[in-house]
C-alpha cells in the first residue's frame, strides 16, 4: 500500500508553526506534494529525516512554488512543463518518476478576480494537458495538487452565486473536463460520486471554514486503467494549518 498526499500549505514556513510537522509524523506519507510553498530552498531552516525533498520555487520571492517529499528515491525528477520560454518562472510543477508511474505535483494558475488572468490560464491548461498526455504515452500518470477549479456544482457550497467567478468559470470547468476526457479519472468522485459538502479550501473570510462553505479544488487524478489500484481517496478536512486541507490517495500495492 502506498500513501500519497497533497497539500497547498499557503506558505510552508508559516504552516510549520501550525501543525505541519505533527501532520507529517502522524500520517507518515510515502510521498507528500506541496503547493504554495512561498519560499526558496535556502530558506528552509528545517529538515525532514527519511525524505528526499525536491523544490521548484518561483522567481518572485514569497510567491507560488511547489515541493515534493518522498521516501523512495525517484527514477527521475523534472520541473515545469518542458518549455524554455514559458511556464518556468512560477514554480508550478514537479514531475517525479517512479518505476510504474509518473507523479505530477501541480499548482495551477489562479484566474484571479474578474478573470484577469484567464487567457494565461487557458494557455497553461492546454500546454499542461499536452505535457501529461506525453507522459501518459510512456507509463501511467497521477496528477495531484491545487487545480484551482471546482468542476461541478457539487464541488462548492454556493455554485449559483459563484458562477463565472475565478475557479468556477465555464472556461476553467471546461478545461478540467477536457483534461479528464483525455484519459484521466478524478479519484475522489470515482469512489464518492454523490458525496456533498466535501471541500478542500475555505476562504479566510466570513468564518467560511466554520460553516463549511468551501470548494473542492485539490485533486488526485489517475490515468484511466489505474482505477483498480485506488484503495481510497480522502479529503482530510480536520487538518488545520492552511486555508486548504490535505488530500490523500491510497494505492493498492
36 is in an annotated binding site: yes
Using H for helix, E for strand and C for coil, what is the string for the chain? CEEEEEEECCCHHHHHCCCHHHHHHHHCCCEEEEECCCCCHHHCCCCCCCCEEEEECCCCCCCCCEEEEECCCCCEEEECCCCCCCCCCCCCEEEEEECCEEEEEEECCCCCHHHCCHHHHHHHHHHHHHHHHHHHCCCCEEEEEECCCCCCHHHECCHHHHCCCCCCCHHHHHHHHHHHHCCEEEHHHHHCCCCCCCCCEECCCCCCCCCCCEECCEEEEEECCCHHHEEEEEECCCCCCCCECCEEEEECC
Catalytic, 113? Answer: no
Q: And the C-alpha cell for 74?
A: 525517484
Catalytic, 146? Answer: yes
148 is in an annotated binding site: yes
Q: Any idea which residue has 500520517 for its cell?
A: 27
- Catalytic residue from among 80, 146, 155, 186: 146
Catalytic, 244? Answer: yes
8 is in an annotated binding site: yes
**162 contact partners, CB below 8 Å, separation of at least 6:** 150, 156, 168
- Catalytic residue from among 5, 102, 107, 199: 107
Burial level of 26, CB count in 10 A (0-12/13-18/19+)? exposed
80 is in an annotated binding site: no
Burial level of 118, CB count in 10 A (0-12/13-18/19+)? middle
Q: Which residues are catalytic?
A: 107, 146, 244
Q: What residue numbers does the annotated binding site for Mg(2+) cover? A: 8, 36, 146, 148, 243-244
Q: What residue numbers does the annotated binding site cover? A: 8, 36, 146, 148, 243-244
Amino acid at each position: 500500500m502506498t500513501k500519497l498526499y497533497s497539500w497547498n500549505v499557503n506558505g510552508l514556513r508559516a504552516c510549520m508553526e501550525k501543525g505541519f510537522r505533527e501532520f507529517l509524523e502522524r500520517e507518515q506519507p510515502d510521498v507528500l506534494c506541496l503547493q504554495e510553498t512561498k519560499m526558496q530552498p535556502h530558506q528552509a531552516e528545517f529538515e525532514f529525516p527519511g525524505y528526499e525533498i525536491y523544490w521548484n520555487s518561483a522567481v518572485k520571492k514569497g510567491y507560488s512554488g511547489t515541493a515534493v517529499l518522498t521516501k523512495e528515491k525517484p527514477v527521475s525528477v523534472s520541473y515545469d512543463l518542458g518549455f524554455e520560454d514559458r511556464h518556468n518562472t512560477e514554480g508550478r510543477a514537479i514531475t517525479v518518476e517512479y518505476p510504474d508511474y509518473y507523479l505530477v505535483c501541480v499548482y495551477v494558475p489562479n484566474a484571479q478576480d474578474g478573470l484577469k488572468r484567464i487567457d494565461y490560464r487557458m494557455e497553461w491548461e492546454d500546454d499542461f494537458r499536452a505535457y501529461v498526455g506525453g507522459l501518459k504515452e510512456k507509463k501511467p500518470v497521477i496528477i495531484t495538487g491545487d487545480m484551482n477549479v471546482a468542476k461541478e456544482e457539487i464541488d462548492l457550497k454556493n455554485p449559483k452565486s459563484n458562477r463565472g467567478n475565478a475557479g468556477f468559470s465555464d472556461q476553467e470547468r471546461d478545461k478540467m473536463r477536457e483534461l479528464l476526457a483525455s484519459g484521466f479519472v478524478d479519484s475522489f468522485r470515482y469512489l464518492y460520486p454523490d458525496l456533498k459538502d466535501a471541500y478542500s479550501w475555505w476562504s479566510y473570510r466570513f468564518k467560511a471554514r466554520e460553516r463549511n462553505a468551501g470548494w473542492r479544488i485539490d485533486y488526485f487524478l489517475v490515468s484511466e486503467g489505474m482505477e483498480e489500484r485506488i484503495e481510497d481517496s480522502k479529503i482530510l478536512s480536520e487538518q488545520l494549518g492552511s486555508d486548504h486541507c490535505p488530500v490523500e490517495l491510497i494505492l493498492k500495492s
